[in-house]
Chain A
């Protein structure tokens, strides 16, 4: 009994090992998507997630021909929670590829842990200035834009439109500081007032009073998500929307904010790298697929377009290494080729692995159906990178 049970046991173990390795070869690549799904900014994370998952769905559960499994978790707009989720994904789930974070303060708490563990992070939205310059990392990619450059486009837009005196506001966190720095870098006029609001602020009455007292030509504000809705509503209630023009970047006037504000937003100038009405093939395919899945009432925001583009970018990377993430340098070579068709048109990575792309001017106008929409007017900048690329040693 004892003599021939041992070989049988060994045979059983060997068979199990073979079976396991056979299963391993078909294991999908697991991607950790940590994003903000709750609170007033929850729709930003929801759009990024839905854009990302839509791309995978359109390829039958694959990206770049490689089967993927996306694990989605909500950071609740709390940096500590984002960090905890990343730690869990790294240690228990052994995930090596991350994406999804909406806000720069959560990037600051979460991404260092991811990079220190040797895993890869591809950003669909937040790209604070510290990671685009001297703290750039070969495993950190950004598909959306570098924070400052999003607002540099607004600064250039305000200059092009001929405004001379600007009052600027943003919430007091990394992305807010990047926003005002970016605007000031490209706005050639005079800054008559600069204010930082609080990230949890809902009542902007004191700020409205100060804007009125400073009498600027134009107001630039960066308030994403629900903050933007509150700010715009109160700007309108204070009687300022009709009197002092506003120039903003895409986060302060996305399709959801526009829906909440309505006709009062007509005339606001917006700058962005993407708009619903771009007529390149990739965008038409994306918008059609989105509207088919989510219906005509829910329009994709630019966050959704970024989630979709990030999935395509990761797909190009995975295709290059055939789904094998063990060699992050090979993955990097494949990623940096940017071998995918972005819904925004031209796209390539800079030396700091942040995008080099075109920026467009838009304005909120009344559509043929009577409802306000964001119309693309012209191009502001071509092949624009960011101000920190030269500090990056990559």
Chain B
């Protein structure tokens, strides 16, 4: 029983990570109608910024600030240079352009920092374990990630629903031309939304850095799942991103954890684990297919 609880906690932690990325992606697509394939690049830039500063300074707080600054800066630069020219274009051209950005960022990082992975140490206070489930010492750092993610979710929700800028964002996602006709500086709004999305992705990268290795290409691995989350949750809705991320995160983790055990009974361990890994990665896409069949606009409808 504690195993199932611990795996569920792992799933929630993974879901929170996905949420940070999906929130930004869903805003960018919802408000700006841009398919941003380069979203994973901000995740990686945030992680690299944090790892490089963390190595030199030894302070996680400084590293986090550096990572956020790097991701936000990268977001602004890419928005100014590339994305601005894509607002009026169709989705295929957006995909091509942002795919080019991925290649550029990946190769640039390799040239600047080499191919060896970087590691960011966990801040001292969080390196122990916490017994959230009695009898299970769960890594304190993962609990901190869940807490951070939930804080961001609440903060974003307040921002979107209770502030004036949030209102503009919501309006811009459903009635873009009307907002423009009302005299709002839509360009500035887009830049803000893009920057916010990049910042959230960068935060995801910073939180992931102590757990996983910081290396070139880390963004692409998580980007595919992020797209699945956005589709499952509903485009343009932060709440949808949260629900989708939880569904995808928990489903993926529980399938990965328990499907091989079930298969162990009927085949050899190596075959069972290989088949289990394959089926559980398929599981997410089955969920997405189901959602598209039953509720194609996503589990949560966008506000508007």
Contacts and interface: CB of A to CB of B under 8 A. Distances in A.
Contacts of B260: 195-196
A237 B128 CA distance: 7
Interface size class of A (residues with CB under 8 A): 20 to 34
Interface stretch (B5-13, B148-156, B179-187): B5-13
A322 interface: no
B122 interface: yes
A379 B146 CA distance: 47
Contacts of B138: 238
B3 interface: yes
Given A180-B270, A198-B277, A205-B142, 10 more contacts: A39-B117, A172-B277, A196-B270, A197-B273, A203-B14, A205-B10, A237-B127, A238-B129, A238-B137, A239-B129
A209 B3 contact: yes
A210 interface: yes
B33 interface: no
Given A205-B10, A237-B127, A39 B270 contact: no
6 contacts: A38-B115, A42-B115, A203-B14, A209-B257, A212-B3, A229-B117
Nearest to B139: A237
Given A206-B10, A239-B137, A229 B119 contact: yes
B211 A39 contact: no
Nearest to A209: B6
Interface string B240-268: 00000000000001001100100000000
A196 B117 CA distance: 23
Contact of B212 (A38, A196, A230, A239): A230
B132 interface: no
B115 A212 contact: no
B117 to A, nearest CB: 5
Contacts of A172: 270, 273-274, 277
Considering residues B14, B128, B211, B218, which has the most beta carbons from chain A within 10 angstroms of its beta carbon? B211
Given A196-B274, A209-B3, A202 B257 contact: no
For the residues of B in contact with A, the DSSP-based class is: helix
Contact of A238 (B139, B215, B270): B139
A246 to B, nearest CB: 17
A209 to B, nearest CB: 4
Nearest to B115: A38
Contacts of B211: 202-203, 230, 233-234, 237
Contact of A39 (B14, B115, B212): B115
Interface size class of B (residues with CB under 8 A): 35 or more
Nearest to A261: B119
A202 B137 CA distance: 21
A352 B30 CA distance: 63
Contacts of B273: 172, 195-197
Interface of B: 2-3, 6-7, 10, 13-14, 115-117, 119, 122, 127-129, 136-139, 141-142, 210-213, 215, 218, 221, 253, 256-257, 260, 269-270, 273-274, 277
Contacts of A206: 7, 10, 253, 256-257
Top 5 closest A-B pairs, CB basis?
Answer: A196-B273, A239-B137, A239-B129, A213-B3, A202-B212
Contact of A239 (B139, B210, B218): B139
B132 to A, nearest CB: 12
A210 B277 CA distance: 15
Contacts of B117: 39-40, 226, 229
A228 B122 CA distance: 17
Contacts of B270: 172, 177, 180, 196
A194 interface: yes
Contacts of B115: 37-39, 42
Contacts of A202: 211-213, 218
Contacts of B218: 202
Given A39-B215, A237-B127, A260 B119 contact: yes
Contacts of A197: 273
A278 interface: no
Nearest to A201: B277
B253 A42 contact: no
Given A202-B212, A209-B6, A42 B139 contact: no
Contacts of A209: 3, 6-7, 10, 257
A105 to B, nearest CB: 13
A388 interface: no
A212 B2 CA distance: 10
B207 to A, nearest CB: 12
Interface string A175-198: 001001000000000000011111
